[in-house]
Structure 1
Amino acid sequence: MFSKKQDPFAVKLSEIAGHLKTTSQFFVDFKINGIADVKEFAHKVKDFETAGDDLMHQLIIDLNNAFITPIDREDLLALANALDDVLDGFEECSAIFEIYNIVQADEHMIKFVDEINIAVSELAMAMDLLVARKLQPMREHVIKIKEQETICDNLRRKSIKALFATETDPIKIIQYKEIYESLESIADYCQDAANVIETIIMKNA
């Protein structure tokens, strides 16, 4: 099915996943200590999202110009869209931080970001395997991504329960609950991408 030459679409997907990994690591590493930091955080994530859109746009152009693709065109586009959704999720979450002027992440948010970062790293490794045409080994990363989504789903429940048990400010409850749910959505998007990868494995391995 594959020629010896690298599939240019797999390479593009790997670039998108690598960019996504950089964005996720930025989420982990950036420290917010005040309003100015929140604005910088949101603006930088927006820049990541814009750069990701450019990568996505180029992939779509290449797909439209290709006569034959090694993997079904629809599956490649579905995977690219799924990866883009993860990046959009990061941007939406950072925007919530800026809108509500959240100047300090709590322990639940930090835990969320760490677990999401693991899932994103698994996505990037899966895309590297796609470039190497090693489809079956990608299953291991699919399984891990789904495990991370389950962890994040449980964390969402735990964090919201703790929020209602300890917080008395109704405004803060609304704000933090929205952030928890936004973070969990990123994990959901990672799982959506894993599901598309699973489809590609089944159809091409």
Structure 2
Amino acid sequence: MAKKKDKFALLLTDISSNIKEAATFFYDFKINNVRDLKIFYDTVKEHEAKGDSLVHRTTKELNSAFITPIEREDIMMLTITLDDVIDGLEECAALFEMYSIIHPTDHMKSFVTAIKNMTIEMDHCTELLANKKYGDIHEHAVKIKEYESNCDHLLRIAIKELFATEENPIKIMQYKEVYETLENIADYCQSVANTLETVVMKNA
């Protein structure tokens, strides 16, 4: 008989699964007009609100738990770093709507692809954590860091190209903000990977 997963493991997998769903929606959704932008933002916002309620439940459970499967502060740190990712996605979707970005650039698409892939790796990690397969987490954490490193490079290229080709100063400011927000999301994913590796070191 399979061993029952502990409530914190289930909450963390719920949090990461919600992030993966939001990032996949972000990647898949086709924006054709300004009305689509409203649907796009509202859907990402729903995921962010769900994430907030899961974080609240995790904090509440931590405050009342006598024993936790991994150290209390590690559960809290994982919860906070995961929450940063969904907050970043919501912030970016808000910028798309606010600036009426109907035609994302190829660089924006590349960022979103990398972020979606990072959230898939994060979801694998929380599943492995839930099943106490600590030794298998490292390879997924390394992949997340590789994606983040590629996003660093992508940011430099995107901004350089933006200044070289775009003449409208307002558009430069708006697109630069979107690029930097996307890079921040990649950084948040890397923070999740770093926290996971700390957990592995303590528990493997």
TM-score range normalised by the length of the shorter chain: over 0.9
What is the distance in 2 between the residues matched to 1:178 and 1:92? 11
Equivalent residue number for residue 96 of structure 2: 97
Once the 2 structures are TM-superposed, how far is the Cα of residue 8 of structure 1 from its aligned partner?
Answer: 1.8
What RMSD over aligned residues (CA atoms) do the two structures have, in Å?
0.8
Q: How do residues 118-137 of structure 1 correspond to structure 2 at under 5 angstroms?
A: 118-137=117-136
Amino acid at match of 2:81: A
Taking the TM superposition and a 5 Å limit, the aligned residue runs for 1:70-109 are 70-109=69-108
Residue 18 in structure 1 maps to residue 8 in structure 2:
no
Query: How far, CA to CA, are the matches of 1:117 and 1:151 in structure 2?
Result: 14
Deviations 1:31-77 (A, max 9, x none): 11111111111111111100111111111111111001121111000
Work out the number of aligned pairs and report it: 202
Runs of 4+ in structure 1 deviating by more than 6 angstroms, as ranges, are none
Separation in structure 2 between the aligned mates of residue 16 and residue 125 of structure 1, nearest angstrom: 12
User: Identity of aligned pairs, percent?
Assistant: 51
Opposite residue 154 of structure 1, the aligned amino acid is H
For the residues of structure 2 that align with 1:37 and 1:151, how far apart are their CA atoms? 29
Residue 5 (structure 1) shift: 3.7
The residue identity in structure 1 corresponding to 2:170 is I
The 5 A counterparts of 1:35-184 are 35-184=34-183
Instruction: Structure 2: state its 5+ residue gaps.
Output: none
SS of equivalent residue, structure 2 residue 179: helix
User: Offset of 1:122 from its aligned partner?
Assistant: 0.3
1:114 partner letter: T
Q: Deviations over 1:61-98 (max 9, x none)?
A: 11111001121111000000100000000000011111
Structure 2-normalised TM-score?
0.97
Is the partner of 1:180 in helix, strand or coil? helix
Structure 1 runs not aligned, ≥5 long: none
CA apart distance, 1:185: 0.5
CA distance in 1, matches of 2:39, 2:117: 24
Q: TM-score scaled by structure 1?
A: 0.96
